[in-house]
A = this chain, B = another copy of it.
């Protein structure tokens, strides 16, 4: 097993064969610009949400070929001796600009721009795309859920439905996207995100009856805990819960059934028992549409699992890492519908004086290109992330980016917050081509 901290083998075989060939003919040293963007938003979504930038920066820092990694490449004859020698010294020394985490993006937005020699920059393709495609897919789904929840609390609890490491990234992204807490303890430990959880059906079944289970939980966690009331009969469960915990009971959770109806009944019953402050937590196969449909019901907290970690129908964001420039000359594939626009690009987001976003202007930048004129309400979206191989200091953290996303959503035209499929919330306009 290779060093789990090194990200160097999170890489497609062909990155190394390309490197071998390019080292041999000298093209490896050509100055290149690679651009990460998406051609469209999946499923007619109105906006994308950038997730994973912080993890990309970590991955680039940890992209080193240690001894075990090099031995594996040699044993499997992935590349020649010259390439192995070159990899031994590898460290990215170029520049990276990109959209900050929590920023919205649209088709063609230059989400990340990587500048360096071909050799240095091509190697990062796979790991950068893995992170951005995964985290941004989850970010879009989670943000739609937050938006649908309309201020009510959301708890992420999908760890069991996805790869155990993916689960940690999902928990982080859910927090970025406005969730209140996650069930994932590793995410709590690693990123300082609030974690939450009380009990499962197994805890009730473990006991001789529901009352004993509730008693045990309240004894251990206090009356402010959340009791799961749908193991046997919900009405009975709620009555027992209030009898055991008193009217100070923190919350009841319902995990199955027609949750809208059940929430209303639970609210009435709790109120009639005097537990007017007891919250109602609803979980079980919720997605953004189910959350929106519960707006009129007395739900206080949503627990969301599966649909979040699988991107609610769009588990990958469809971003690509395309060579856009070689030695200052724009390049692009041109055989099919998958055509790309050549040349290094940046973006200006135009807004009305009210602050509402108008359009995403994607323009050629670099030598010989003037940026478009920016009005007082417009802003350039890319920010410097890496300079000369070093992470730019004092980049915004998770809390800042959480706020950024919240503000960005407010800037969308109202149609842009629709859950239904349609056109992107704002058009992308290409200038200076």
| Among A120-128, A272-280, A414-422, the stretch in contact with B | A120-128
Are B76's CB and A189's CB within 8 A?
A: yes
Are B306's CB and A316's CB within 8 A?
A: yes
* Minimum Cβ distance to chain B for residue A327 (Å): 10
Are B160's CB and A12's CB within 8 A?
A: yes
B-side contacts of A15, CB under 8 Å: 197, 200
Are B2's CB and A186's CB within 8 A?
A: yes
Which residue of the partner chain B has the closest CB to A317? B161
Q: Is A374 an interface residue (CB 8 A)?
A: no
Are A163's CB and B130's CB within 8 A?
A: yes
- A and B contact pairs by CB, cutoff 8 A, 5 listed: A10-B186, A11-B184, A14-B199, A18-B199, A310-B316
Q: Is A99 an interface residue (CB 8 A)?
A: no
Cα–Cα distance between A225 and B14 once the two chains are bound (Å): 11
Copies in the complex: 2
Q: Taking A127-B164, A205-B326, A323-B206 as contacts, is the C-beta distance between A17 and B195 under 8 angstroms?
A: no
Number of interface residues of A (CB under 8 A): 106
Are B21's CB and A220's CB within 8 A?
A: yes
Cα–Cα distance between A167 and B10 once the two chains are bound (Å): 8
Q: Is A335 an interface residue (CB 8 A)?
A: yes
Are A198's CB and B161's CB within 8 A?
A: no
Cα–Cα distance between A207 and B377 once the two chains are bound (Å): 42
8 Å CB contact of A157 from B12, B30, B217: B12
Are B336's CB and A9's CB within 8 A?
A: no
| Among A230-238, A292-300, A388-396, the stretch in contact with B | A230-238
Within 8 A of B (CB), among A199-217: 199-203, 205-207, 212, 215-217
Q: Taking A13-B185, A24-B220, A203-B22 as contacts, is the C-beta distance between A256 and B337 under 8 angstroms?
A: yes
